[in-house]
Amino acid sequence: MQIKFGTSGWRAVIADQFTFENVILVIQAICELLKKNKESSHGIIISNDTRFLGDEFKKIAAEVVASNGIKVYLTERDTPTPVVTYEIVRRKLGGGISFTASHNPAKYQGLKFFGSHGGSAFTKDTQWIENKLKSKKLKLTKTQPFDHLLEKKKIEIINPRRNYLNYLGDIIDIKAIAKSKIKIAYDAMYGTGRDYLDTFLIECGCDVRTLHHFADPNFGGITPDPTDENLIELSKIVANEKHFFGVATDGDADRFGLIDMDGTYFDANYFLPVLMKYLFETRPNWSGSAVRSLATSHLFDMVAFKNKIRVHETPIGFKYIAEIMTREEVILAGEESGGLTFHGHVPEKDGIAACLLAIEIVAKTGSSLSELLDNIYRDYGTRVNLREKIVLDDKVKAKLEKLLKNKPPKKLLSKKVVRTDVRDGVKMVNSDGDWLLVRLSGTEPIARLYAESKSKEKAEKLLETAKAMI
């Protein structure tokens, strides 16, 4: 069995590969890395989301880490990932571990490992962990009992909620939200965001209706991903009642979902440029570049360029965004799958802060997000972004992989391909600025297709072009 870290940690099916035995091995390897990097003296935070056996995995991990002589700050309950990363930075810790499979189905567990910078561990460090595990030369430290480590203060139980909420209070325009009397419907999706996002809004004086406000390891039978198909109940509430705006966070609250004032789902691809324009207008002291993933709409770039902001394009995975944020100031960074961060914040996705910024925008402008997007289309131009997932058999997948590697299309919609990016799948951009991205999953026989053009009709034709290749 080979343990692999993806773009956001290690994930596997509970009781299949994700076992106590394997978790102990991974945690021991992380301890060795912290010692090698001379970060073990700073201590680490360990937490979990609401998934099955999360508390038990968290406790076992704390025993291993503390027995290795590394101080552990253990959260008293399931905690949002962005709160964990904020606490790493606030306490100046050597890193952090959260047991979460984020937006994946309930049968999965996962382990996210964060560096001292407050973002996902860099590739060089996760590769070191993988190689250490593969070498089979890992020597397990004899663990001491949890209660003994707690008594010796090698493990300290903490509640990081108030520090995080106070911090957000310095970033978000609380007065504008309170003055607007806006009503909020919030879907916690049975995850860690409950008692964080809703508490913040209640303290602002908002009328808040919270859905699925309790921990459920089965997530109500759905995948805890705030997509349009998973937010139908939230959408109906907003559509049927006046003055409501809808927000949602995924299982570990690092991703966000938005329901506009008319009850329609508002895609992250369109929220990011709306937020970019709003930040230029309301945060004049923020400076730096902008960052997005390969699959994110170029409407983001159009807004940035017109405001003389440089845009970095990264492979998919927030750790690549984090690498840029450790080198330079960034105004806004985001990806199409519902993750973003911003100037001065942790270099990791924060679904709670994203929802609050969306609420602030609606409250302060008095406009719906769709109205603000129409303004962007008027001032900057139109972009339509579509995506689709295709299940392949292994033979077709291998054939497509070979085709993309050796003979990618030279034209898209009869226009010459002027740029090809092969860092993460194959992305082709034509002379009109239309683009198509085809990514093959490394773990499943799946192709992910992303297409963008100036019209929906052209974007659909781009997807058909990709399907024809398959």
- CATH code: domain of residue 264: 3.40.120.10
Looking at the structure, tell me whether residues 191 and 314 fall in a common domain: yes
267 pLDDT more than 70 = yes
Residues with Cβ within 8 Å of residue 233, at least 6 apart in sequence = 187, 211
Look up the pTM and report it. 0.95
30 with 76, same domain?
yes
Pick from 107, 444, 459, 421: nearest CA to 292? 421
| pLDDT band for position 394 (cuts 50, 70, 90) | confident
Same domain, 329 and 462: no
* Cα gap 228→269, rounded to integer Å: 13
Instruction: Name the percent of the chain lying above pLDDT 90.
Output: 87
One domain for residues 196 and 317:
yes
- Per residue in 98-129, pLDDT (tens digit) is 999 999 999 999 999 999 999 999 999 999 99
Specify if 348 maps to a domain. yes
Residue 358 has pLDDT above 80, yes or no: yes
Structural domain includes residue 398: yes
170 and 155, same structural domain? no
Tell me the HSE value of 141 on the side-chain side, using a 13 A CA sphere.
21
Query: What is the count of structural domains for the chain?
Result: 3
Enclosing domain of residue 96: 10-159
Spatial distance between the Cα atoms of 3 and 16, rounded to a whole number of angstroms: 12
Residue 43, Cα to own-chain centre: how many angstroms? Answer: 24
Angstrom distance (rounded) from CA 463 to CA 63: 50
- Is residue 279 pLDDT above 80, yes or no? yes
Contact 363, 176 (CB under 8 A): yes
* Mean pLDDT for the stretch of residues 195-212: 96
Q: Which of 347, 380, 413 is at the close of a domain?
A: 380
Residue range 224-237: mean pLDDT, rounded: 97
Q: Does 3 map to a domain?
A: no
Shared domain for 351 and 247, answered yes or no, is yes
* Higher-scoring residue by pLDDT: 232, 443: 232
- Residues 389 and 366 occupy one common structural domain: no
125 and 172 inside one domain:
no
Residues 341, 347 contacting (CB under 8 angstroms): yes
**372 and 394 within one domain:** no
Question: In angstroms, rounded to a whole number, what is the distance separating the alpha carbons of residues 82 and 401?
Answer: 35
Same domain as 389, residue 376: no
Per-residue confidence (pLDDT) for residue 97, from 0 to 100: 98
| Arithmetic mean of pLDDT over the chain | 94
